Amino acid sequence: MNLTLHQTETGDWTTFVEEGRARLGGADNPSLMPSHYLHVILPKIGGCGLTVRRDGQTCGYGFLFPRQMEGDVPVYTLRYHRLADAPPFDPDALTRQTARLLNPACRVVFYDPHAAHSYPASHRLIGDLDFGRPDASEAEDARTIQQVVWNNPPEVLYPADMYSAEFALATALVARADGQTAGFLFGMTKFGGTALPPLWQERLRQRVRLESQTMGVLSAFRGRHIAYLLKKVQAEEAVAQGIDIINWTADPLQFANAALNFTRLGAVAYEAHPALYAFHNQLNQVAASRFSLTWLVGGQRVQRILAGSQPTALVNLAQSPDILRVNDGPLATRFDAGAPTIAFEIPADWTALQQRNLPQAQGWRETTDRLFGHYLGIQSGRYIVTGAGVDGERRYLIAERVTDDLLASLL
C-alpha cells in the first residue's frame, strides 16, 4: 500500500476533502462526516486525512480522529472508507503503516463505518429527564433531530454510526423525555488547541481537550432546560475523563445561545471567526461567522456556577451606565473603547431578522464581525466576552478588558 497523509498545513486539504467526498458518494453516502466538519473542524481538533493507493489505483480514503492519550502516546481512530472496486486489504497492516506515517510513538485504531457496531445505552435521571449514551435507535434519532431543527440537507448531517462504542466519541449524549428522544449533544477528543494565557496554562490540563459539537433540542421540549442539562452532563463526563477545557463554536448573534453559554454555563469567548463555515441553512442565511468558546470546566469558577453556588444573571444595561456600548445597531460603531467593560449590541431575534430582512441581517453580520475582530483577544488590553445583557427589548454581549485579575477570576 502507498499512503498519502493530508493535513491543513500541506495545502491540499480542501482538494483532498472534496475529491474524497465526491468519489465516496457525497450527500448520498450517510456514513460520511459532513463537508463543513471535514473542511474546518477535523483539522482544528488535530485530525488529518489519508489516501490509500495500490499499484497506482486509489483504494479508499481515511479520516484520522484523535481518540485518547495512553500516557504520552496519542491514539487515533482511522475512519476508513473503501471504494467499491478496491482490492481486499489488511486493516492491521493499514493501521501499522499509518501509525508510522503519523508518528513513531502513536497508535491507530481501525474503524469501518459499515461494519456491525454496538450501542450500549446509559441512563442518568435528572428530574423527569433521562440523559445518557444512545442506543442504536436513538443514534438515528439524533441524526433526525439535527435535520428537523436546522432543516439541513443530507451533506450537513452527522452519521448515526459515530455514536457507536467502537468509534468512541469522548461524550455522546441524548436527552429522553416523555418516552421520546428530545435532544442530543456530542463531543470529540481534541489534541491541543489555541494558546491559553500563562496563568491558565499553569493550572489547567490542556494537552487533551474536548471539542463539543452539535447540540439540538426539538422545539416541543424546549423550556425544560434540556440544553443546559446536556451541557452540564457533558462537563461532568469531561472532568471525569481528566479534561479541563471544552471548546465549541457558536453564532455570536444568537442571543438565547449567548445567555446559555455565558450566563448559565460560564463559558467565555475571545476568538471570532468571520465566515467560518460555507454552508447556508434556515439559521444561517448570511455568512456563518462564529465565536470559538472556551469553557474552563476544570476551574473553580465554572464548577461553582454549575453547582449553583455562584449564581449569574443577565446584565441590565439600563442600570449599568459604566458599561460602554460600542455600537448602536448595525450602523453606529466606535473602535476607540478602553473602558473596563463594554457591550456589543446584537439583534434581538437573529433568526427572524434573517428571514424578514436579509440586507439588514447582512449589515449586522458585517458590523459585528469588524467589532469582534477589533476588540477580542487574550492579550492585555483586549476584551473577553463573559456575559450577556439586556436593555428593554435590546440585546447585548458583555466583554471585560483583559487584566491579570480578570484572568485569575475566570479560573
Q: Which helix (H) or strand (E) holds 375?
A: helix 358-375
Q: What is the DSSP string of 190-247?
A: EE--S---HHHHHHS--SEEEEEEEEEE-GGGTTS-HHHHHHHHHHHHHHHTT---EE
Q: What is the pTM of this model?
A: 0.95
pLDDT in tens, 265-279: 999 999 999 988 865
CB 62 within 8 A of CB 50: yes
Q: What is the pLDDT along the chain (411 residues), one digit of tens a residue?
A: 899 999 988 789 999 999 999 999 998 999 999 999 999 999 999 999 999 999 889 999 999 999 999 999 999 999 999 999 999 899 999 999 999 999 778 999 999 999 999 999 999 999 999 999 999 999 999 999 999 998 888 888 999 999 999 999 999 999 999 999 999 999 999 999 988 999 999 999 999 999 999 999 999 999 999 999 999 999 999 999 999 999 999 999 999 999 999 999 999 999 999 988 865 656 666 788 999 999 999 999 999 999 988 878 899 999 999 999 999 999 899 999 999 999 999 999 999 999 999 999 999 999 999 999 999 999 999 999 999 999 999 999 999 999 999 999 999
First to last CA, the chain: 49
Which residue ranges form the domains of the chain, and what is each CATH number? 2-111 (3.40.630.30)
Q: Give the C-alpha separation, 140 to 161, whole Å.
A: 8
- Residue 282's pLDDT is 60
Q: What angle do CA 123, 310, 398 make, to 5 degrees?
A: 105
pLDDT in tens, 121-174: 999 999 999 999 999 999 999 999 999 998 888 888 999 999 999 999 999 999
Q: Which helix (H) or strand (E) holds 67?
A: strand 57-70
Partners of 383 in beta bridges: 376, 401
- Residue 145's pLDDT is 97
Cell of 407: 484572568
